[in-house]
Amino acid sequence: MDAGTTQILCFFVNGKKVTENHADPETMLLSYLREKLRLTGTKYGCGGGGCGACTVMVSRYQPGTKTTLHYSANACLLPVCQLHGAAVTTVEGIGSTKTRLHPVQERIAKAHGSQCGFCTPGMVMSMYSLLRSRPQPTLEDITEALAGNLCRCTGYRPIVDGCKTFCQESNCCQANGNAGCCLNEKETIDEPEHVMPQLFDKDEFLPVDPTQELIFPPELILMAEKQPQHMQTFQGERMTWMSPVSLEELVQLKASHPRAPLVLGNTSIGPDIKFKGVLHPVIISPTRVEDLFEVTQTPQGVWVGAGCSLSGVRSVLEGLVKQLSHEKTELFRALIHQLATMGGQQIRNVATLGGNIVSAYPNSDLNPVLAAGNCKLSVISNGGRREIRLNQDFFVGFGKTALKPEDIVISVFIPVSRKGELVRAYRQAPRKENALATVTTGMRVVFSEGSGVVQELSIYYGGVGPCTVSATKTCTAITGRPWDDQTLSQAYDVLLEELALPPSAPGGKVEFRRSLMLSLLFKFNLEVQQKLREMNVIPEDLSDRMQSGIQPLPNQIQASRQEFQNVSEGQSDQDPVGRPIMHRSALSQATGEAVYCDDIPSTEGELFMVVVTSTRPHARILELDVSQSLRVPGVVDVITWKDIPGKKTRTFCGYEEELLAEKEVLCVGQMVCAVVADSRVHAKRGAAVVKISYEDLPDPVFTVEEAIERKSFFEPHRVIERGNVMEAFKSVDQIYEGGIHLGGQEHFYMETQSMVVVPVGEEREFKVHVSCQAPTFTQEAVAETLAVPSNRVTCHVKRIGGAFGGKVTKTTILACITSVAAWKTDRAVRCVLERGEDMLITGARHPVLGKYKVGFMKDGRIMAADIQYYANAGSTADESTLVTEKILLHVDNAYNIPNLRGQSVACRTNLPSNTAFRGFGVPQSIMVVESMLNDVAMVLGRPAEEIREVNMYRGPSITHYKFEFDPENLLRCWEECKAKSNYSTRRTAISQFNQHNCWKKRGMAIVPIKYGIAFSEGFLNQAAALVHIYKDGSVLVSHGGAEMGQGVHTKIQQVVSRELCIPSSQIYISETSTNIVPNTCPSAASFGTDANGMAVKNACQILYQRLEPIRKHNPGGSWESWVSKAFFQKISLSATGFYRGPDLYMDWEKMEGQAFAYFTYGACCSEVELDCLTGDYRTVRTDIVVDIGRSINPSVDIGQIEGAFLQGLGLYTMEQLKFSPSGVLYTRGPSQYKIPAICDVPLQFNVYLLADSDNPHAIYSSKGIGEPIVALGSSAFYAIKGAVAAARVESGLVGPFSLDSPATPERACLACATPFTQKIPDSQPGSFKPWALNI
């Protein structure tokens, strides 16, 4: 067939045939599903295969074995052109609320594993794909299948709990809601005998019925078996896709198009096209060339087809490990070790062995092992076949190999190992799974029988140069010599000299990477010593202390507890308040039916908007040239500041912020203009060719230190003091000065900023559908921008796919720009930011520098403290000064310090403006205070919990801003946390563990929290609601709260059910809309249920009161009959409710006020195990006790607690924003920025809600819980610091030491000061330009 002819693409989606006559090679399955097929259950989360939100199942028929292969894949990386003959299953295809739920959908929902719900369809499909391959999976199978899926809301525990009900071992009570477990009998033996309430009952779940699954389409089986295969060609706007069938066709195509990449998994080429703008005019996709998938076993090893997926390679190697003797499978096992954590399951299912090798990434996991293992490639081109050895000559530079452009790798030979041979692979990565390695290595040594003399040695590293590198000189220094400490000691020096890494090397972390080179070689040394002992070459076993260097960190998930109080005995069964009710939208979210902003169907003529941002940190705009952009096909217009008909700025904290830059840009990422086109693709292309000419302005400011030096601040500079700090310093036993630096944190809500603005077409009216926490705020801003009254703009929020404070100010600015585009074009305009744009533009949690001077007595009592906070606000004020105020209001945390002074200021820098984030400054404030107490403990040589305890508030107390409160429940949480966590016993066990282990250390910390709830600005605490009762008895509720996963709609539904005495099934909440409930306040400050719940309660009481005469007249009547009677008696069945809220205030001049409605208290104990050689750690156990009064919904509240803790764990131990020296954000997606994944959940994760607690200040005696627990993630940080302190003792170092947050593996490893880190010379600051700034 003529290669130039475009053919028909045929595949199936959810059992329905899809034929595409004009498939564009640049179209990915995700956009095809969402835009062409209107299957919006599959979500866009990152576009790069890093978050799992777009997971689908792909099924292919294998004619050779007559079987069907099912596997999960990322739809965002799957070109539609590659799907010929495949069957795709999306979340809509496995079940729905209209027909029948699939058990996976049901169990994730009913186990409370869906909060905002945006990640849920991806989770469902990962689990579903696993069940199609393994109907009875193990817990390990489940965590592996979900490792490629990220969730920002739940903390993962409920997702795993729901999924593990599919395990064979699920008859254990662990799987049944986890209230308690037979495995924990030792711990519960003394507890009174009573049945604890459970979060869910697995006995109610639908059974798994494989006969109900979609069958593989028979038409595709016939097509695969009978239909002759021909080469396919698909022609797009800019790219041609060619799919050959035979090896001969492939060779000819590659000879004709030597620069055309070969695409099978698209996990490397795809991201390059999407994120780097690389354009390939021709792509060759040899997915149907069978020669690339053949596996041939020989006595010398195995030839594995270069087209085999990494999952397939692992499966082949695991089969050989079972089949062959142990000594022959050294290399196979080393490769399996690397493959287990490489990427997520979805990536491993499509990424290929050949692609991984040829991509030649510098930090490749496989290449160092393959090279060290003497593997070779079978290569073909027009010139014939040849074999190439994988060695130092093969990798020639960044992304470059010795292959010629026309070469095609057919297969890879992996040899069996021989007697006396040892092969090991090691890697260190920012996250334990699904993360690109920092340093990776493959090491192979051969000894002759009975000898300890090294016969052959091969060591390769990734991540320490532009490509995979060989430590040739190091190997030469060891070869021929006995493997002993003397030989190795010299080898470390040779290695450091041989593989030098300049201090400004790309990727940064230079000292850490150099240290890892040594410590990974030392790990190999320990394994070699073990091997030599097995060979009887050396007499002594490796000591237990030394063995800790090669023991893996614990990874077995344990049974966890979620304890909460049952409802009182007298409570009606119909009253849902206090019961663990499933999130009201959980089932819709699990089936993909839940509608998010970008799921709203396009209207006719709708346009898409892409913003153009500044590339300079501080510069004057000389010219904005949009002429080239306007010539791009599909581009309709370009919006600049001149097009704004009304107000061109927004005012935050007294400072103006431009919607679109006019004359000057203040940071990289500031919005300058916006391109509007007929499609997302065309708008993006138009934005790429906008030309902006700049004149750089001198001396941009990036860091807090630079801002302090130049006095670059936003006013006001706040100070608060009680007692006399300076006088108190004169009478204390000791004074210590210290500080800590906290990095920022990206919100990483799963749904990026999204909005659709629709001109109604009459009297300048606009409908704004927006993913926003503050719809009224957005309404007012759009109205002012368009110069229309607020009554012409209605803002609609159905649900938000996560927000965490990040969808208030920047969302409003984006909505204003989008509304200008809709106003100017008179067409609906959609704006959905890509993940990288979102991370660049919208700011993050404020990085903070905390400094303190503390005076204390020998018994640990702190008598005086002077604490200064410097927050990096970024280029505009946003809400930064409010954040710095809240920082000071929590400067005491849980401690009664008689003489206390706090100062805080927002630093003005040339970085994207930082904004509100869950906790609003409190996580930073408390971290600095806890660092101070920790340092006091280290100075005195006492456990930190003793210092915390001796300084806690006790009895009737007053805060530093003269707010009276009773800390009884704070102390109860603390004592209960110590008891539930078995603190003192475990503290002793940890001490013994650390004595017996040299290279693994454990640490444990317990931290309290006293968190103020509600807005300090009293007017923000008001709320309103509108409740309608319809004639059939059904109830429609509207209120001002936005549902973003925190369960506010679910709790409101419970409130209505109680107040009207009707079942929840009769109550519906549609959306949050400004034309129904006006003048609402933002859903923030953990006050959403408190305020809106009271407003709804008020409305319901008014209605119930109106019905009272009818109820009295007919007490035995039904709800429906009462409602009907009321209608005929002309009684209004609609009522507005209002809640005034507490009159809170803070007088900063007098340094006093009623800043909060009440406090939420808690305490958290975390234990970690740290690998001192790599800095990797595992949270072994976390126990959290929280006082939330009487929980309205324990399942929602426990979900909020777990999710907040894990977000805090990310903040304090993992998540790092990296900026270039010129202020460019490097970390713009999940491949560079790591949030916690399933592998980061504490292995035992216990949550206890404090029993018998009341709160007269909130609805039904409940408490706000959305934000407080983030700060308790610091318990993991201080546990890591404790483990590091134990490691430092091995090097003779005691006393306070610096460890900034987050305590990443890099920081923890370097702080351990092992002999290997001490070998690394310090790079002198100022002598080089660092790769990244320390923000």
Nearest-CA neighbor of 151 among 680, 801, 760, 609?
801
b/e code 1081-1108 from CB counts within 10 Å (16+ = b): bbbbbbbbbbbbbbbbbbbbebbbebbe
Neighbours of 630 (CB within 10 A): 14
CB distance 120 to 110 below 8 Å: no
Distance of CA 883 to the CA centre of its chain: 23
Tell me the two tokens of residue 247.
């090896």
Locate 928 and state its tokens.
């600095």
3-state secondary structure 247-295: HHHHHHHHHHCCCCCECCCCCCHHHHHHHHCCCCCEEECCCCCHHHHCE
**DSSP summary character for residue 461:** E
What span, in angstroms and rounded, lies between the C-alpha atoms of 60 and 224?
Answer: 9
* Three-class DSSP labels, 787-811: CCCHHHEEEEECCCCCCCCCCCHHH
Strands 691-696 and 619-625: antiparallel
87-89 and 9-13 as β-strands: parallel, antiparallel, unpaired? Answer: parallel
Check: CB of residue 687 under 8 Å from CB of residue 675: yes
In angstroms and rounded to an integer, the radius of gyration of the C-alpha atoms of the chain is 31
DSSP classification of residue 552? P
CB 706 within 8 A of CB 910: no
For residue 1006, how many C-alpha atoms fall within 13 Å in the half-sphere facing its CB?
27
Angle, to 10 degrees, between the axis of helix 1305-1312 and the axis of helix 1274-1290? Answer: 30
1267 noted as active-site residue: yes
Tokens standing for residue 457 = 């040695």
Which residues does residue 578 pair with via DSSP β-bridges, in sequence order? Answer: none
- Whether a cis peptide bond, with omega within 30° of 0, leads into 1302 is yes
The neighbouring-strand residues paired with 623 are 693
Q: How far apart are CA 717 and CA 1021, in angstroms?
A: 25
Q: Which residue has the tokens 């990798």?
A: 395
- For residues 702 and 696, is the Cβ–Cβ distance under 8 A? no
Distance CA 776, CA 757 (A): 15
Stretch (H or E) spanning 318? helix 310-323
Taken in order 39, 44, 47, 48, the sign of the CA dihedral is: negative
| Tokens (6 digits) for 1034 | 């059904």
Q: How far apart are CA 257 and CA 613, in angstroms?
A: 36
Q: Where are the alpha helices (DSSP H) in 860-1008?
A: 880-889, 922-940, 944-950, 968-980, 983-996
DSSP secondary structure letter of residue 850: E
Angle at 109 between CA 558 and CA 579, to 5 degrees: 85
DSSP for 147-179, written as a single string: TT---SSS-SHHHHHHHGGGSGGGGSGGGTTTS
Residues β-bridged to residue 283? 241
Bridge partner residues of 757 (DSSP): 768, 829
Query: Considering 225, 1267, 1290, 1306, which one is annotated as catalytic?
Result: 1267
| Positions marked active-site | 1267
